[in-house]
């Protein structure tokens, strides 16, 4: 079966340029430094929908995303953990350990960070809302070299930065 045609565009945010890769079935990837590969840069309805919601999010008019997803193939455990993460709403955070428990996968808390790094659609599946029990934790999103600053900005923008991390 042939891959569907994918389309690319980007949005310049307060924390760097965010690329969007989508096709007719939904959003495939989003991220900083996203390589468009062979994706078309022609206007696409799904890409425009994603860009519109990004504008709303970064403009303070949207907290959570409502987008069709067409995720690349993921390990079943990764998909289960990312699905559990979708229940963490804007203004909330969850620790790695709590997300591990919520997922019901038996994955240890220390493995959740690797699963977050595999998230093909950060922001939309909000891996920035996963924090360490004793601090901010890591983040694989954001401009290279500025990942933790990006995570802090996103959480502050959402009003979700835990007091211990301020």
Residues known to be catalytic: 127
**Contact (Cβ atoms closer than 8 angstroms) between residue 120 and residue 71:** yes
Place of tokens 């955070």: 93
State how far the Cα of 82 lies from the Cα of 143, in Å rounded to an integer. Answer: 22
State how far the Cα of 64 lies from the Cα of 16, in Å rounded to an integer. Answer: 19
The total number of residues written for the chain in this structure: 166
State how far the Cα of 35 lies from the Cα of 21, in Å rounded to an integer. Answer: 9
State how far the Cα of 37 lies from the Cα of 57, in Å rounded to an integer. Answer: 26
Q: What's the order of all strands across the beta sheet hosting 16-23?
A: 7-13, 16-23, 26-32
């Amino acid at each position: 079966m042939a891959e569907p045609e994918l389309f690319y565009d980007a949005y310049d945010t307060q924390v760097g340029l965010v690329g969007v890769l989508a096709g007719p079935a939904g959003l495939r990837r989003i991220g900083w430094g996203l390589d468009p590969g062979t994706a078309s840069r022609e206007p696409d309805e799904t890409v425009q929908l994603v860009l519109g919601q990004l504008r709303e999010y970064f403009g303070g008019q949207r907290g959570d995303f409502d987008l069709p997803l067409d995720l690349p193939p993921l390990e079943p455990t990764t998909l289960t953990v990312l699905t559990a993460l979708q229940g963490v709403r804007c203004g909330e955070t969850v620790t790695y350990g709590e997300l591990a428990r919520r997922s019901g996968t038996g994955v240890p808390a220390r493995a959740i960070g690797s699963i977050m790094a595999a998230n093909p659609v950060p922001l939309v599946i909000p891996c920035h809302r996963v924090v360490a029990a004793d601090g901010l934790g890591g983040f694989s999103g954001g401009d290279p070299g500025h990942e933790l600053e990006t995570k802090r900005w996103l959480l502050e923008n959402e009003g979700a930065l835990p007091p211990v991390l301020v």
